[in-house]
């Protein structure tokens, strides 16, 4: 039915995929390539092909830890457009969506040039940027990794996700947000303007960070940042009006699993995975 959102499933194990989906995603490359099996099991259903390597062509590029990167995404999108794909799909965590958009903009691409499939594991079916979710507006969102009570990803897709529909209008909720992507260093100083009232965080891996609020006597706070669930709740961390700078210390407890154990041999890895910070005014 026109205007009805679609349910899409994906999993590396094809036998776990249920038959009640409107669509299914599958991998064209990597150790879990399974598109032939998915197509054979669900003939006539919508299929979204995923590439985990930016050197390969597909309907969607997987931008996450150990797969493609933000820097590789614009070139991949342009290559898909050149082969006739009007709006290629890019998958990433909700916490990385703004950083990804920044890389696209820097390469001359607008939001209307690609579709965003975000991962935001709330346990509630939703599309990011709607229904109270304050992450960037997506075209589809993977909202759980345990659908049907088992290891199974489920996504909710806008009606035009598999067509040529234009990008959905962004939603800001009246809040002004600026994204800062931390560089590859263990301690970063973040200057704050007087209008900043909260900070929110996004990352690709579980990590504990420490925030030292400078200008406020002996004030500090630790925050757990994890994949897709990307801050201390959607409200973020409140900022004392007296605070003029925040010192951000990475991996304060030394437990961050980075580089990932399944990282491709010989692939250069940064000392830390990407970490994004939104400064929220008002």
Residues 132 and 53 in one domain: yes
Reduced to 3 states (helix: H, G, I; strand: E, B; else coil), residue 31 is coil
What are the helix (H) ranges across the chain? 35-41, 73-82, 97-106
Pairing of strands 187-191, 245-249: antiparallel
pTM here is: 0.63
36 pLDDT more than 90: yes
- Point out the domain boundary residue: 157, 188, 207: 157
pLDDT at 2: 45
Residue 1 lies in a domain: no
Overall domain count for the chain:
2
Whether residue 266 lies inside any domain: the answer is yes
Q: 241 and 191 in one domain? A: yes
The answer to the question of residue 98 being in a domain is yes
Q: For the segment 165-185, what is each residue's pLDDT rounded down to a tens digit?
A: 555 555 444 344 555 566 677
Query: What is the predicted pLDDT for the residue at 176?
Result: 44
Q: Is the pLDDT of residue 225 over 80?
A: no
pLDDT of residue 282: 64
Whether residues 241 and 122 fall in one domain? no
Q: Are residues 20 and 102 in the same domain?
A: yes
Domain of residue 38 covers: 6-157
Q: For residue 135, give the CATH number of its domain.
A: 3.20.20.80
Answer yes or no: is 23 within a domain. Answer: yes
Closest by alpha carbon to 274, among 190, 221, 202, 177?
202
Do residues 40 and 138 both lie within one domain?
A: yes
Task: Answer whether residue 275 shows pLDDT above 90.
Answer: no
Q: Is the pLDDT of residue 75 over 70?
A: yes
pLDDT confidence bin for 23, thresholds 50/70/90: very high
For range 69-81, the mean pLDDT: 96
Both 11 and 151 in one domain: the answer is: yes
Residue 261: partners with Cβ closer than 8 Å, 6 or more residues away: none
**Confidence check: pLDDT of 228 > 70:** no
Q: How far is Cα 11 from Cα 171, in angstroms, rounded to an integer?
A: 30
Specify whether 83 is located in the same domain as 197. Answer: no
| Shared-domain flag, residues 200 and 268 | yes
In a domain, 21, yes or no: yes
In a domain, 270, yes or no: yes
In whole angstroms, how far apart are CA 170 and each of 214, 216, 217?
34, 35, 39
> Tens digit of pLDDT for each residue in 131-165?
778 888 999 999 999 999 999 999 999 988 997 65
- pLDDT at residue 78, rounded to an integer: 96
Is residue 19 located within the same domain as residue 135?
Answer: yes
Under a CB-based contact definition with an 8 Å cutoff, are residues 143 and 126 in contact?
yes
Residue 225 lies in a domain: yes
Residue 215: CATH number of its domain = 2.60.120
Q: Is residue 139 part of a domain?
A: yes
Same domain, yes or no: 35 and 114: yes
Rounded to an integer, the average pLDDT of 188-195 is: 76
Give the whole-number percent of the chain exceeding pLDDT 90: 47
- Report the length, in residues, of the chain: 282
Is the pLDDT confidence value at 100 over 80?
Answer: yes
- Please give the average per-residue pLDDT across 258-269, as a whole number: 65
Beta carbons of 107 and 74 less than 8 angstroms apart: yes
Looking at the fold, whether 126 and 85 belong to one and the same domain comes out as yes
Name the domain boundary from 157, 185, 202. Answer: 157
> Is 70 exceeded by the pLDDT of residue 187?
yes
Least confident of 9-18, 137-146, 155-164, 198-207: 198-207
- List Cβ neighbours of 36 (8 Å cut-off, separation of 6 or more): none
Read off the pLDDT band of 12 (50, 70, 90).
very high
| pLDDT single digits (tens) 240-258 | 888 878 888 988 998 887 7
Strand partners, 60: 50, 89
Per-residue H/E/C for 92-136: EEHHHHHHHHHHHHHCCCCHHHCEEEEECCCCCCCCCCCCCCCCC
pLDDT score of 204: 62
Query: 190 and 93, same structural domain?
Result: no
Helix (H, G, I), strand (E, B) or coil at 40: helix
């Amino acid at each position: 039915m026109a205007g009805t959102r679609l349910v899409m499933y994906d999993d590396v194990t094809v036998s776990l995929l249920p038959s009640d989906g409107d669509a299914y995603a599958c991998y064209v490359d990597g150790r879990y390539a399974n598109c032939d099996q998915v197509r054979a099991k669900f003939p006539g259903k919508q299929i979204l092909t995923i590439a985990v390597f930016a050197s390969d062509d597909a309907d969607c590029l997987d931008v996450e830890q150990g797969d493609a990167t933000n820097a590789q995404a614009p070139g991949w999108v342009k290559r898909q457009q050149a082969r006739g794909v009007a709006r290629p799909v890019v998958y990433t965590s909700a916490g990385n969506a703004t950083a990804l958009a920044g890389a696209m903009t820097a390469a001359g691409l607008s939001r209307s040039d690609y579709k965003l499939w975000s991962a935001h594991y709330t346990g509630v079916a939703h599309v990011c940027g709607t229904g109270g979710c304050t992450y960037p507006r997506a075209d589809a969102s993977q909202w759980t990794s345990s659908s049907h009570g088992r290891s199974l990803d489920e996504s909710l897709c806008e009606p035009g996700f598999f067509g040529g529909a234009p990008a959905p209008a962004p939603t800001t909720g009246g809040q002004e947000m600026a994204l800062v992507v931390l560089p590859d260093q263990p301690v970063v100083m973040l200057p704050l303007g007087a209008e900043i009232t909260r900070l929110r965080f996004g990352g690709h891996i579980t990590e504990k960070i420490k925030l030292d609020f400078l200008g406020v006597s002996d004030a500090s706070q630790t925050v757990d940042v994890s994949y897709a669930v990307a801050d201390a709740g959607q409200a973020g961390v409140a900022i004392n009006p007296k605070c003029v700078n925040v010192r951000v210390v990475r991996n304060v407890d030394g437990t961050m699993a980075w580089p990932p154990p399944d990282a491709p041999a010989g692939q250069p890895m940064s000392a830390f995975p990407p970490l994004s910070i939104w400064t929220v005014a008002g």
